[in-house]
Amino acid sequence: METFVIEGGHRLSGTITPAGNKNAALPLLAACLLSDQPVILRNMPDIADVRVKVQLLQSLGIECSWLEDNVLRVHAATINTSEPDIALARRIRTSILLAGPLLVRTGRAVLARPGGDSIGHRRLDTHFLALVALGAEVEVTKQAYELHTAGLVGTDIFLDEMSVTGTEQAIMAAVLANGTTTIVNAASEPHVQDLCRCLFAMGAKITGIGTNTLQIQGVSRLNGTEYTLGPDFMEVGSFIGLAAVTGSNIRIANARPEEHRMTRIMFGRLGVTWQDEGPDIVIPGDQELRVRDDLHGVVPKIDDMPWPGFPPDLMSIALVIATQAHGTVLIHEKMFDGRLFFVDKLLSMGARVILCDPHRAVVVGPAKLFGERLTSPDIRAGMALVIAALCAKGTSIISNIAQIDRGYQRIEQRLAALGARIERRPAE
């Protein structure tokens, strides 16, 4: 068990480059099973969740090797078993994404209930409804999901919700199904688009990429390919928030600014501004963070929704920014019923937040934050606490940082390069 020791109250400066998109990396690793040829994935983030997923593939007999930093080669020439390692599967949420590829390659899959962040109930029904529509049979037990099929057949699927991983599951099962599949009410986040583009490069026939309706013409086989992941959307949003609350001038290189139009709107309600310079985002220092009321002085709201709406993974960051902005704002987390439970840790630092219920918090700012002993409850809340500690007065110690390591690559080294006073230490 390690901790981050953070001395807050210092301005940062410089350039930081986001790592590859975690939420693209994990489904792309599952997609490698769809071909018996090598797939080389570039800009792969070296984070704990990716390492666990790689081990999970290796437990199936799949060859995985790092060719160099952030370049991974996966070769699923043969698959030795349809039952991924139970202990590994329970450590990450996206272990469930092996269901479709295993059904396609072996006709069978036995998967333990997946792990992941404790941010409330996260239903998996959409996955299985899509697989059943394509011709799979599913048996649900208390500890596992057992699936088999004599062959998947293309069909028309209307997803019961815009589930990101549910959409990814349906896409991977459909690309090698017999016939045409139409997926309506599909998620269209940047990482879903990355998955589609990689599969397209492997020979899949997919149209409608980036929209909520996908049409997939099944093919008989997929080839190997090389594919470069896009930047991690959540890291970019996190670094924007970090610059804003610490009054720092930071350039985020290769940030895909076009993906942050809604981030600009929501963070803008807190007074955060930045400039797009080609592929980079530049946040000026010494911004005056001030809540922008709605018409007639109405308290504004920051809420999340499916893409292209504001992503739920940035709600924790928005809440921390709100603690430093003049005015009152409502944070409304619609999509997960446990995401806001980290608020108690901000309260211990001096934040003025009223947690109305599991989905709504009223934030009154600005509040002077002070260093505190904290525990990271999940990936995104963990990064939010790092940001809060960096703008607080005094020293904070954050434990359970393995949660942060799951999603952020060597974050303390990258922030230290900007001038942050942050160290990784063994737990006391």
Q: How many angstroms separate the Cα of 246 from the Cα of each of 56, 99, 304, 323? A: 39, 44, 24, 12
**Would the annotation count 304 as a binding residue?**
no
HSE-CB of 241 using CA atoms within 13 angstroms: 31
163 with 121: CB under 8 angstroms? no
365 with 324: CB under 8 angstroms? yes
117 annotated active-site: yes
Tokens in use for 298? Answer: 């109405």
Tokens in use for 140? Answer: 């649900």
Facing residues of 151 across strands?
none
Parallel, antiparallel, or unpaired for β 360-365 and 373-375? unpaired
What distance in Å separates the CA atoms of residue 26 and residue 51, rounded to the nearest whole number?
10
What distance in Å separates the CA atoms of residue 252 and residue 68, rounded to the nearest whole number?
23
* 214: helix, strand or coil: strand
DSSP run (H or E) holding 7: strand 2-7
**Would the annotation count 313 as a binding residue?**
yes
71 with 107: CB under 8 angstroms? no
**Would the annotation count 406 as a binding residue?**
no
What distance in Å separates the CA atoms of residue 236 and residue 252, rounded to the nearest whole number?
7
Q: Catalytic one among 117, 303, 304, 378?
A: 117
Please choose, from the candidates 91, 111, 90, the residue with its C-alpha nearest in 3D space to the C-alpha of residue 169.
Answer: 111
What distance in Å separates the CA atoms of residue 125 and residue 159, rounded to the nearest whole number?
10
Parallel, antiparallel, or unpaired for β 395-399 and 2-7? antiparallel
**Would the annotation count 393 as a binding residue?**
no
* Tokens 């918090």 found at: 361
Tokens in use for 146? Answer: 């057992």
**Would the annotation count 22 as a binding residue?**
yes
Parallel, antiparallel, or unpaired for β 144-148 and 108-112? antiparallel
> Phi-psi bin for 135: left (phi > 0), alpha (psi -120 to 50), beta?
left
What distance in Å separates the CA atoms of residue 394 and residue 369, rounded to the nearest whole number?
9
- Cα dihedral across residues 307, 309, 315, 320: positive or negative: positive
Tokens in use for 226? Answer: 């090389």
* 234: helix, strand or coil: helix
Binding residues for UDP-N-acetyl-alpha-D-glucosamine: 93, 313, 335
Active site members: 117
Annotated binding site: 22-23, 93, 313, 335
User: Which residues line the annotated binding site for phosphoenolpyruvate?
Assistant: 22-23
